Amino acid sequence: MAKKLKSQLIRLKCSECGRIGYTTAKGLAIKEKLALSKFCNSRACKKHTLHNEVKIK
């Protein structure tokens, strides 16, 4: 039998250019949205920016 996941997959979207560049896992017990400073490699940014959580469809 398959085990139930203790985390869910989320995407991280750049707050400046809107590009989704990262996928990560977040625990189910955490209710607030995740926001991390990551490097955005799009042509518009090319710098560290804030990336916000977006659910995977």
Write down the pLDDT at residue 55.
Answer: 84
Q: What is the mean pLDDT of residues 22-45?
A: 93
In a domain, 51, yes or no: yes
In sequence order, what DSSP letters do the residues of 10-53 get, joined into one string? EEEEETTT--EEEEEEEETT--SPPEEEEEE-STTT-EEEEEEE
Per-residue model confidence (pLDDT) at position 1? 62
**Measured between alpha carbons, how far is 17 from 31 in angstroms, rounded to an integer?**
25
Identify whether 26 is part of a domain: yes
Percentage of the chain exceeding pLDDT 90 = 72
Position 27 in a domain: yes
Asked whether residue 42 is domain-assigned, the answer is yes
Q: Terminus-to-terminus CA distance in the chain, angstroms?
A: 25
pTM: 0.81
Flag whether pLDDT at 47 surpasses 90: yes
Residue 1: inside a domain, yes or no?
A: no
Q: For the chain, how many structural domains are there in total?
A: 1
Residue 39 lies in a domain: yes
Asked if residue 34 belongs to a domain, the reply is yes
Measured distance CA(51)–CA(32) in Å, rounded: 14
Per the structure, the complete domain to which residue 49 belongs is given by: 8-55
CA distance 38 to 52: 10
Can you give the CATH number for the domain in which 44 is found? 2.20.28.120
